[in-house]
Amino acid sequence: MFDALTAKLQTILRSLRGKGRLSEQDVAAASREIRLALLEADVNSRVVRDLVTRITEKAVGREVMESLTPGQQVVRIVHDELTALLGGEASDLNLSAETPIVLMVGLQGGGKTTTAAKLALRLKRAGKRPLLVATDLRRAAAVAQLRVVGEQVGVPVFEGSERDAIGIARSATEQARHSGLSPLIVDTAGRMHIDQELMAELAALKQATSPSEVLLVLDAMTGQDAVNVAREFDEGVGLTGVILTKLDGDTRGGAALSVRAVTGRPIKFAGVGEKPEALEVFHPERMASRILGMGDVLTLVEQAEEALEEREAEELERRLREKRFDLNDFMRELQRLGRMGSLENLLSMIPGVQALRQRVPVEVEPRRLRQMTAIIQSMTPEEREEPDIIDGSRRRRIARGSGTTRQEVNLVLKHFRQMREMLGQFADVERSGRLPRGLGLPRLR
């Protein structure tokens, strides 16, 4: 989502890093460019004005002007100010109540129901026993949709027989206490637009249930209107946090940079794909690094560790140290990448990749992973274990068996060699003696 903004900010800051000394005129010119880049990214104008003012004031200070590396100092200032703008630090869910309740609110079509299931899955994996509660009685398919996504993530759904949301929520609370389920994640009604009836209904539900959290599910692709929606929900219901969905989209992304500043409510999670696992804790500092093209290795490692079991990690590390990494291992890594979510999102976490992609197109379509897997599956066990024996005739046979071309088979073998070399380097230099798990990203064309 931040590709265009990242490219512009990198260009601006690169020009500053190239200067031995900075003048106030240099900082003023860079500030104007930063202001334009943020406005073009659809960041709220007031937020832009305040942010650029703070950056400019700090960038013309004596510490920066007299530094031997003033350009790097400015980069640090921009990073710190973006981090503060996004909330400073990650905000945990408040689940301290005996039977905590999380109200999921938002407009219809914003991803509220699917996000409720994603959150339930995340809490389930953290050792909780969540219960999804269907209180949206206005949209015909809402209850059925929640039932489907609940089954997908393996979390029970309470539907209730009452004809009002408050009655269903109260019955669900009693059921949860009786069954030892916690927390309750309540999927509430939404509208295509904000109206007084919606706000009154949500306010009444909040008063009746005393939720620990009221989370606004907000589509990050709605641009400036997202800020207005967040403000009105906060004033009408009272929010404790925000979940941004579709942060892996290709729009300008200004909502993510504006919501926290305008509402004062923390962004707690970010949806980064369609899969049930594609919900990240929102870390302001890490997001600031990604916006500036500095990557986000910590989140990448966390996602990789979730996809990679301890036993698998130890086996992969052992095979790498013994120089025995083969095409079977390569195929398992490809399949693991598919489980980790959007490749676009994964690539954005690797330092330097954003700058590289500006010069070299990188194909990250999921079909490429499936095609590469099909090619490896068309090989014999001997070929997978000893890739060096794959000559021209074998490549033609593999191509026919996988419905691909010989050139595509050659490309898979090239990716395999690159990945083996890169993982070997990780195994050699890791200070702690353990391999950073799941960082074996192939260079997809």
Q: Is the link from the previous residue into 442 a cis peptide, with omega within 30 of 0? A: no
Where in the sequence of the chain do the CATH 1.10.260.30 domains occur?
297-429
CATH number of the structural domain 3-85: 1.20.120.140
All CATH 3.40.50.300 domain ranges in the chain, comma separated: 101-291
Range list of β-strands (E), 59-211? 101-105, 131-134, 157-158, 184-187
Residue 360 pLDDT: 44
Per-10-residue mean pLDDT, the chain, length 445: 74 76 84 88 87 89 68 83 88 90 91 94 93 88 92 93 90 92 92 83 92 91 79 91 80 74 90 86 84 59 53 66 80 70 54 49 63 91 92 94 92 84 60 42 36
Task: For residue 79, give both structure tokens.
Answer: 């990073």
- What are the distances in angstroms from CA 436 to CA 134, 293, 344, 346? 41, 21, 20, 15
Distance separating alpha carbons of residues 162 and 112, to the nearest angstrom: 22
Nearest-angstrom CA–CA distance, 293 and 17: 15
Q: CA-CA distances (angstroms) from residue 438 to 295, 305, 309, 310?
A: 16, 7, 10, 12
Q: Tell me, what's the pLDDT at 439?
A: 39
Instruction: Quickly name the fold that domain 297-429 has.
Output: 434 Repressor (Amino-terminal Domain) (1.10.260)
- Output the pLDDT for position 418: 79
Q: Running DSSP on this structure, what letter comes out for residue 180? A: T
CB 406 within 8 A of CB 395: yes
Measure CA of the first residue to CA of the last residue in the chain; give whole Å. Answer: 20
Q: Note the pLDDT of residue 335.
A: 72
Instruction: Report the predicted TM-score, pTM, of the whole model to 2 decimal places.
Output: 0.67
How high is the pLDDT of residue 437? Answer: 42
Q: Which residues contact 23 (CB under 8 A, 6 or more apart)?
A: none
**Which whole-number Å values give the CA distances from 5 to 17, 105, 244, 256, 407, in the listed order?**
18, 29, 18, 12, 36
User: pLDDT value at position 406?
Assistant: 93
C-alpha 24 chain-centroid distance? 37
Q: Other C-beta atoms within 10 Å of 128: how many?
A: 16
> What is residue 407's predicted lDDT score, i.e. its pLDDT?
92
Class of domain 101-291 as given by CATH: alpha beta
3-state secondary structure of 146: helix
* Confidence (pLDDT) at 424: 65
Locate 384 and state its tokens: 């997978």
CATH 1.20.120.140 domain range(s) in the chain: 3-85
